């Protein structure tokens, strides 16, 4: 099907016609990234979708819950067959990188890194 490509700031790209759309594995990775970064209650037709980041990050010791929620969101993404591994690497600047490895319907194994 294809989705509009996002730039490094997460904004839609324009001006290149069909060149602004991505398909296949690039589309799947972008959909996973967008869904993981989305907040619970963002989508008014399904308020339980996505991750309750504000609540989950406000308490210490919630890493297992956060990983479980990320896995749920990734598994519910179109064209994902299975989630193989999720890890979170924290740094000293209160930032983290989420590493996700998953299999797609295109018979590919992909790993994506999401900076938060």
Closest to 63 measured CA to CA, from 37, 39, 90 = 90
pLDDT tens digits, one per residue of 71-90: 999 999 999 999 999 999 98
pLDDT tens digits, one per residue of 3-44: 999 998 888 999 888 889 999 999 999 999 999 999 998 888
Structural domains present in the chain:
3-115 (3.10.450.40)
Calpha distance 7→75 (Å, rounded):
24
Can you read off the two tokens belonging to residue 89? 């690497």
Indicate yes or no: pTM above 0.85.
yes
User: Is there a contact between 32 and 51 (Cβ–Cβ < 8 Å)?
Assistant: no
């Amino acid at each position: 099907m294809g989705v509009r490509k996002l730039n490094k700031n997460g904004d839609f790209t324009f001006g290149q016609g069909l060149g602004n759309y991505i398909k296949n594995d690039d589309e799947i990775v972008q959909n996973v990234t967008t869904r993981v970064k989305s907040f619970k209650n963002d989508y008014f037709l399904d308020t339980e979708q996505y991750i309750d980041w504000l609540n989950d990050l406000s308490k210490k010791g919630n890493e297992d819950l956060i990983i479980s929620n990320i896995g749920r969101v990734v598994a519910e993404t179109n064209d994902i067959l299975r989630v193989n591994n999720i890890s979170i690497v924290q740094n000293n600047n209160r930032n983290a990188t989420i590493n996700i490895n998953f299999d797609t319907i295109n018979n590919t194994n992909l790993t994506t890194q999401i900076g938060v």
